Amino acid sequence: MLVEEIRRELRRFVDPHVLRKSIAWEKQYHEDPKLYGVTTPLVRKVASKYYQKVRKLGKREIFGFCEELLSSGYIEERTIAFDWAFRVKKSFEPNDFCVFERWLKRHVHGWGGCDDLCTHASGAFVFQFPQFVPNVKEWAKSENRWLRRASAVVLIYSVRRKQRLEEVFEIADRILLDEDVMVQKGYGWMLKEASNKYPREVFDYVMKHRREMPRTALRYAIEKLPVEMREEAMEKGA
């Protein structure tokens, strides 16, 4: 009943203009996106409103609601599911890795879902349980472009908190030559986030690999570096 209530609420906010625009955007990365046509800020408000009705339940019950929301295939419901999963991060346990990996494989079909899950719930999980980093590294070998992107993006949560720098470079090594631009942007973003805490280390890494790193990844990686470092990296990368 609660999930149906959420769906009715989402339908109240449907905007045909938002729907047309969102479908055009999502189709760049998703073959057949399912959307209500609700703006992300409104979806977040719905997520927050209805979380108040489940917040006192156990994590497994909340995950059950998340699974039901994800099963519909609607992007707005996926956003709510991932939002709720992140809200219970203090209750995460090691066996939750299987849950997040399954969601990534079954319910992520574009960069928005990949980044939402990985920079929040999955990222918080890996931060708490670094023993699963080897599992994450395996994603870098996947034929699924979103798993390969996820192998990098999932470390952003940790590196923002000054953790996992060594693993950041290991993942970058694994997907350095990936031909998929969404993967290139993913690990470039990871390096950019690392540069906020470790500018010299990221600069040194970029300079070491400047001749083989795809231009897209390089530009993302150096975006937040001091101007003199950016200029040198771009000159050497030319």
Contacts of 79 (CB under 8 A, 6+ apart): 40, 43, 44, 47, 116
Q: Supply the pLDDT for residue 28.
A: 72
Domains of the chain: 1-91 (1.25.10.90), 93-238 (1.25.10.90)
**Which residues, other chains included, contact 219 with Cβ-Cβ below 8 Å and sequence gap of 6+?**
188, 234
Confidence (pTM): 0.93
**What DSSP string describes 22-79?**
HHHHHTTT-SS-B-----HHHHHHHHHHHHTTTTTS-HHHHHHHHHHHHHT-BHHHHH
DSSP state of 16: H
133 CB-near residues (< 8 Å, 6+ apart): 126, 164, 167
Q: Which of 186, 188, 177 is nearest to 29 (CA)?
A: 186
What is the distance between the alpha carbons of residues 166 and 190, in angstroms, rounded to a whole number?
A: 12
Q: What is the mean pLDDT of the chain?
A: 94
**Residues with pLDDT less than 70, the chain:** 29-31, 236-238
Q: Which two tokens mark 61?
A: 């019950």
Q: What integer pLDDT is reported at residue 236 of this predicted model?
A: 52
Across the chain, which distance is largest between two alpha carbons, in Å? 60
Which pLDDT value is given to residue 22? 79
